[in-house]
Amino acid sequence: MTAAGGKAIAIGADVSQAAAVAELVQRARAELGPIDILVNNAGIAITRGVDDLTEADFDSTIAVNLKSVFLCTQAVLPAMRAKQWGRIVNISSGAARGAGAIGPHYNASKAGVEGLTRGYAARLVKEGITVNAVAPSLIETDMMKGQPNLVARIPLGRFGTADEVAQAVMMLIGNAYMTGQTVAMSGGMAFN
């Protein structure tokens, strides 16, 4: 990144906590300037069957996967509104619209992300801020390690890659006309 003239920093934060998000945004602004682009990508996947799902599993999944999107979005909106320009891309999942293998708590958190996406998009469109989502399914990540049997469910015949998800995110960042949309990435498993 720096070789190409860019600048990046790493800041650890629990984005399910408002105070940690406020500090994260303040530090990022101090080091890099105003935040024009936000990609909400925090997520956890606690795999549980319906009978094994606990309230703590549910609460932590909603906090990390959904509440973090709200907190981070709210924290960057003042600067985006001041510039009348911003791009917000939320990472959802095919589980928002399908059964998924992780559990109903995960489905609910990702469906909520898509609801926040549409709700913010409708309210921010006239201020030059677009809000969209990318909903990947079965991407080659740590979450998929040890589950090669899942490839058989993908018509394309392979897991998706993080680079392919990044390409979809970049497409949404570069498109000023698209807002309130979810781009599904499923290798042919589902068509919206």
| Strand, coil or helix: 128 | coil
Of residues 103, 117, 20, the one with CA closest to residue 66: 117
Report yes or no: 15 and 62 within 8 Å, Cβ to Cβ: no
Q: Of residues 58, 106, 120, 159, which has the active-site annotation?
A: 106
CB atoms within 10 A of CB 10: 4
- Two tokens, residue 89: 């891309």
Active site residue 177: no
Place of tokens 């998800």: 165
Report yes or no: 172 and 130 within 8 Å, Cβ to Cβ: yes
Q: Please list the active-site residues.
A: 106
